[in-house]
Copies of this chain bind each other. A is one copy, B any other.
Amino acid sequence: MALPARPTLGFVGLGVMGRPMAGHLLDAGFPLVVNTRTPATAEGLLARGARWGETPAVVASQCDLAITMVGYPADVEAVYLGAHGLLAAAKEGAYLVDMTTSSPALAGRLAREAHDAGVHALDAPVSGGDVGARNAKLAIMVGADPEEFEAVLPVLRNLGTNVVLQGPAGTGQHAKMCNQIAIASNMLGVCESLAYARHAGLDPERVLESISAGAAGSWSLSNLAPRVLAGDFAPGFYVKHFIKDMRIAIDSAREMGLKLPGLVLAEQLYERLAETGYEDAGTQALYKLYED
Contact = CB atoms under 8 A, between A and B. Distances in A.
Given A185-B186, A214-B139, A252 B171 contact: no
Given A127-B214, A206-B164, A262-B185, A252 B179 contact: no
Interface string A158-173: 0000101111000100
A69 to B, nearest CB: 17
Given A206-B164, A207-B175, A214 B219 contact: yes
Given A166-B203, A167-B203, A210-B139, A260 B192 contact: yes
A221 interface: yes
Contact of A265 (B139, B197, B261): B261
Given A185-B186, A185-B262, A260-B192, A197 B214 contact: no
Interface string A219-232: 11101000000000
B167 A201 contact: yes
A186 B214 CA distance: 13
Copies assembled = 2
A56 B217 CA distance: 35
A167 B201 CA distance: 9
Contact of A262 (B189, B202, B210, B220): B189
A263 interface: yes
B215 A220 contact: yes
Contact of A162 (B180, B186, B213, B258): B213
A182 B190 contact: yes
Contact of A218 (B180, B186, B256, B263): B186
A74 B107 CA distance: 55
A98 to B, nearest CB: 16
A174 B200 contact: yes
Contacts of A223: 215
A43 interface: no
A177 interface: yes
Given A178-B207, A185-B189, A188-B261, 5 more contacts: A178-B197, A179-B211, A185-B262, A186-B216, A214-B219
30 contacts: A104-B200, A127-B215, A139-B210, A139-B214, A162-B209, A166-B207, A167-B201, A167-B203, A174-B197, A174-B201, A175-B206, A177-B196, A177-B200, A178-B194, A178-B197, A178-B207, A178-B216, A182-B216, A183-B216, A185-B185, A185-B186, A186-B218, A189-B262, A195-B258, A196-B258, A216-B219, A218-B220, A261-B265, A262-B266, A265-B265
